């Protein structure tokens, strides 16, 4: 009995030691400084941490969703781990053509109507700008990450990243209209939650051509699309 109890205590102690190497958390608040006509929403901001010792993310088993609704992409920003599949359902009673010419993640869904939509698997990390070949004003952002430690801000601008391995790494705060804010950190990190400020001063919708590299055609209000 004593031997078994000793083995149990040893196993428990080793398990606790192993667990502590993945127990670091990062939390804080990001204030948005925005002079644009349409104030940015906190949910459009992605915070992620990339350890110096890389951790390969595991893609979800089910497809994530970015839908078209009222000639908009919802959500307008979607953060996914590399290898994740995203489905693009059309909830509008009109046609859309979802595409991207982003490097290493280019795709073209073709023209399709209301329904479950089509899917694409994002294998390469990077920012993917998603457009509609019918409506120039439509733009979505899929941020493909090579780390499993990421989150969007909540309504009050707060974030929390959990179960990060101890050691050095870099924190990133991203928004489509800002230069990424970065901070070097050494985990575990003690003390107050982080207070960060992100300045948004870029264009809301970058100028872009259609999927054929040509200018969009103007459509009359009576047009089909």
pLDDT averaged per 10 residues, the chain (length 225): 37 35 82 84 96 94 95 95 96 93 91 92 95 89 97 96 94 94 89 88 76 73 48
Q: By C-alpha distance, which of 71, 180, 175, 200 is closest to 131?
A: 71
Give the per-residue pLDDT at 220: 45
Q: Identify the structural domains of the chain with CATH numbers, from first to last.
A: 23-55+150-212 (2.60.40.1120), 58-146 (2.60.40.420)
Give the per-residue pLDDT at 218: 67
Please state whether beta strands 67-69 and 139-145 pair in parallel, antiparallel, or not at all (unpaired).
unpaired
Whether the Cβ atoms of residue 125 and residue 150 lie closer than 8 Å to each other: no
Give the per-residue pLDDT at 193: 86
Whether the Cβ atoms of residue 198 and residue 173 lie closer than 8 Å to each other: yes
Q: Supply the pTM of this predicted model.
A: 0.82
Give the per-residue pLDDT at 19: 39
Non-local (6+) Cβ contacts of 198 within 8 A are: 30, 31, 32, 33, 45, 173, 175, 178, 181
Whether the Cβ atoms of residue 98 and residue 91 lie closer than 8 Å to each other: no
């Amino acid at each position: 009995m004593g031997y078994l109890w000793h083995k149990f205590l040893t196993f428990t102690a080793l398990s606790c030691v192993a667990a502590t190497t993945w127990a670091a958390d990062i939390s804080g608040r990001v204030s948005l400084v925005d002079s644009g006509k349409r104030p940015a929403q906190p949910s459009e901001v992605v915070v992620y941490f990339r350890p110096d010792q890389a951790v390969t993310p595991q893609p979800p088993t089910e497809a994530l969703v970015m839908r078209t609704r009222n000639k908009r992409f919802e959500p307008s920003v979607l953060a996914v781990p590399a290898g994740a599949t995203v489905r693009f359902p059309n909830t509008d009673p009109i046609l859309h053509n979802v595409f991207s010419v982003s490097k290493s993640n280019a795709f073209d869904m073709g023209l399709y109507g209301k329904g479950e939509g089509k899917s694409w698997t994002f294998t390469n990390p990077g920012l993917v700008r998603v457009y509609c070949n019918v409506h120039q004003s439509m733009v979505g952002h899929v941020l493909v990450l090579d780390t499993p430690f990421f989150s969007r801000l909540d309504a009050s601008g707060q974030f929390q990243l959990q179960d990060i391995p101890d050691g050095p790494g870099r924190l990133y705060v991203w928004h489509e209209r800002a230069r990424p804010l970065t901070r070097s950190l050494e985990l575990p990190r003690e003390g107050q939650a982080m207070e960060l400020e992100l300045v948004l001063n870029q264009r809301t919708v970058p100028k872009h051509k259609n999927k054929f590299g040509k200018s969009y055609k103007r459509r009359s209000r009576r047009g089909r699309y």
